[in-house]
Structures are given as C-alpha cells and as structure tokens.
C-alpha cells in the first residue's frame, strides 16, 4: 500500500475517526474527573552517626537507610503513628496510606503520606516520621550500628498525585486517533462501507475519476462536456429516482449541454457519429451487464450515478466492469436527497 492510498483511506473516514477519538479521550479522562483526587505529602528523616563520629561510611550508611525503611512494618511504629495522626485512625489504615522509602540525599529516608484529604496526608507523613524517630531513639533493638535517626524536614503541603485530566484526554485522543486512522487506512479497501460523498471522493481518487456531488457543479460539468461531445448517464444499481434524472436533465438543458436525451434498449440501434449534446440512457438503467453493453456500443463517456445507500464494493465492481466493457467514466455522483447530501457532507 502506497502513501497516497493510505492517506485516502484516512481522509475518507476522518469524521468517524475524529468522533471516536474524542470519545476515547473523554473516556480516558473520566476516572480522573469522577474519582476523588489523591494527595501526597513527604517528610524526611536522616540517619544520625553514632555518638562521637562525624560521619558514616557509604556502605554502612546505605545499610542503615535500608534498615530504617523496613521499620514501616514494625507494629510499635505503626501503632504510635496511628495515635499521632489527626484525626486518629486505625493502624491498618496507617499502613495502607504511608510508606518509608529511600530518600534522595545520602542517609535520608522519605516518609510518604497519602490521603484523599491534603491535610490528612500531611498529618500522616509527620506522624509516621515522628513515630520512627521516637521508636528508634527509645528502643536500641531498632537501631543498627549504633546509629539513630532525626527529623530532617517536616511534611510539606500535600500535592495532588496522578495524571492531569487534560493530559489523560490528550493521551486517549491521540492514541485513539493513531489506532483508528491506521485501521481505517488498512481496512478501507476491504470493508463494504456505505457510500457517502467523502467515501465517493476517496473511490474517485483511486479510479482517477472526478467526483461531483453538488447539483450546480455536476450540471455545469455535464453541460460543458455535452458541448464537446455525447455522453451517457448510467446508474450503478436500481434505485435512482426518476425525479432525480428529470431534475438533472432540466438543469443540463438549461445550461445548453443536453440537446437530446435518448433511451437505448438492449439490441437497439445506436446513431452513428452522434452530435454534441446527445445523452444516452440505458433502459432499464440498473447497472446490469446489458446496460453496460448498450453504453459501450455508444462509445460515449459515462456519468456513473450511485443510488443513495449503495455500498463501496458494488461501485468498485462496476468500475472494474466499465473497464472491461471499454467505457470511460466521465464523473461519479450520488443520487441522494438534498437534505441527506447536506448531512453527509458536513
């Protein structure tokens, strides 16, 4: 598949791709809007060297940090934190909403508190930090290498965690657009899409045939071609209203492009050297092989008219048959009602 075919498949389905991508973006954004936000606050404690020492070597310091991080699972630490937090809460909730992790600086332990309420998140972080310091200071069994810990920084105001709703929307929209556009481009030629003006334009580009869906543009084009030679008007299938044919004939005659419209039945004679302005219409005009044979005998280029609601595969099949019969397509159009055309072209 070349780039042009890939791009035409995307353009033909652009409206559906955009609508579905917007829905995916809204769906991705929904949880961050509907669920209460979560807030995170951080306090920091640091390892204090043994009495009489100014520092702890790097390996011992790293070991000490890992040791004190593990205090998050010690019952005495958790229970004391549950009493210090405001408002007090169950120890299991404290375990669920706090964590001790290795801090950014050497010898630092970060104390994390999370909650739906920013003030509670700050209180949790401070309570757990104070509980760790108190427990280590009072219980030598919780110390390692004669080190202790002290509070380095109290908890800062809590920040909202999680991805911003706008970011979620853009992520969902862009991801959906890429996937849908790729799928539409790859499946464009294989699925039996309903013909809309946009889809017809894509098929016309594939076949190298002009596509005219506006009444004025179609009439002017046919009138111009009628002044240069004869032409045929061919329906791809039954279902084009007679009123549509009559209206088209009136408009082209008014512009001086149709001097005579002649119905041709299978087996009938075709006038030799037809004059410009003559229009041939097979009878019946249903896209059948007999109708194609009649048009082929005139050697006139054919306006290909699709009834409203036709599918893409039927048009592709007929365009292939036109080539087999030696009929050159003049233009493609859809015989849809005006309000339908306005809706599908939007």
Q: What is the CATH number of the domain that holds 324?
A: 3.40.50
What confidence score (pLDDT) does residue 271 get? 66
Which value, in Å, is the radius of gyration of the alpha carbons in the chain?
39
- Say whether both 14 and 61 belong to one domain: no
Mark whether 106 and 248 lie in a shared domain. no
Domain count for the chain: 3
Question: What is residue 53's three-state secondary structure?
Answer: coil
The tens digit of pLDDT for each residue in 254-301 reads: 998 777 888 888 776 766 666 788 899 998 898 899 999 989 988 899
pLDDT along the chain (346 residues), means of 10: 75 86 91 84 92 82 92 90 91 92 92 92 94 91 89 87 84 93 81 76 86 90 90 90 91 84 79 77 90 89 90 88 92 73 44
Q: Structure pTM? A: 0.53
- What domain range is 273 assigned to? 192-345
Taking alpha carbons only, the member of 156, 52, 55 closest to residue 107 is 55
CATH number of domain containing 139: 3.30.1890.10
- Is the domain of 171 the same as that of 283? no
Same domain, 321 and 208: yes
pLDDT at residue 1, as a whole number: 59
Q: What is the pLDDT of residue 14?
A: 86
Q: Which 3 state secondary structure label does DSSP give 237?
A: coil
Please name which of 299, 262, 301, 300 lies closest in space to residue 282, comparing C-alpha atoms: 262
How far apart CA 278 and CA 280 sit, in angstroms, is 7
State whether 223 and 276 are in the same domain: yes
Q: Side by side, which strands form the sheet with 329-335?
A: 260-264, 278-282, 231-235, 302-307, 329-335
CA dist 101 and 344 (Å) reads 58
């Amino acid at each position: 598949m070349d780039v042009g075919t890939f791009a035409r498949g995307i353009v033909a389905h652009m409206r559906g791709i955009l609508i579905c991508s917007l829905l995916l973006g809204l769906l991705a954004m929904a949880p961050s809007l509907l669920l209460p936000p979560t807030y995170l606050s951080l306090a920091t404690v640091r390892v204090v060297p043994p009495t009489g020492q100014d520092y702890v070597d790097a390996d011992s310091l790293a070991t000490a940090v890992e040791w004190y991080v593990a205090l998050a699972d010690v019952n005495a630490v958790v229970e004391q934190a549950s009493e210090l937090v405001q408002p007090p809460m169950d120890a299991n909730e404290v375990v669920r909403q706090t964590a001790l992790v290795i801090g950014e600086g050497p010898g630092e332990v970060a104390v994390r508190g999370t909650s739906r309420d920013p003030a509670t998140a700050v209180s949790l972080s401070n309570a757990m930090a104070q509980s760790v310091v108190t427990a280590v200071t009072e219980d030598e069994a919780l110390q390692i290498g004669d080190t202790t810990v002290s509070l380095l920084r109290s908890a800062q105001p809590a920040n909202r965690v999680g991805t911003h709703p706008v970011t979620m929307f853009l992520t969902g929209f862009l991801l959906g657009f890429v996937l849908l556009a790729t799928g539409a481009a790859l499946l464009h030629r294989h699925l039996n899409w309903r013909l809309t003006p946009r889809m017809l334009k894509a098929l016309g580009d594939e076949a190298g045939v002009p596509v005219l869906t506006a009444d004025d543009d179609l009439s002017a084009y046919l009138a111009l071609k009628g002044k240069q030679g004869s032409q045929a008007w061919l329906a791809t299938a039954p279902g084009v209203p007679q009123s549509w044919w009559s209206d088209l004939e009136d408009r082209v005659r008014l512009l001086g492009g149709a001097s005579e419209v002649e119905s041709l039945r299978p087996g009938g004679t075709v006038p030799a050297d037809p004059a410009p302005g003559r229009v041939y219409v097979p009878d019946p005009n249903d896209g059948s092989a007999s109708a194609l044979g009649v048009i082929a005998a005139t050697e006139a280029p054919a306006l290909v008219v699709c009834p409203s609601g036709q599918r893409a595969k039927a048009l592709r099949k007929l365009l292939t048959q036109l080539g087999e019969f030696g009929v050159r397509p003049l233009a493609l159009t859809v015989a849809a009602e005006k309000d339908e055309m306005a809706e599908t072209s939007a």
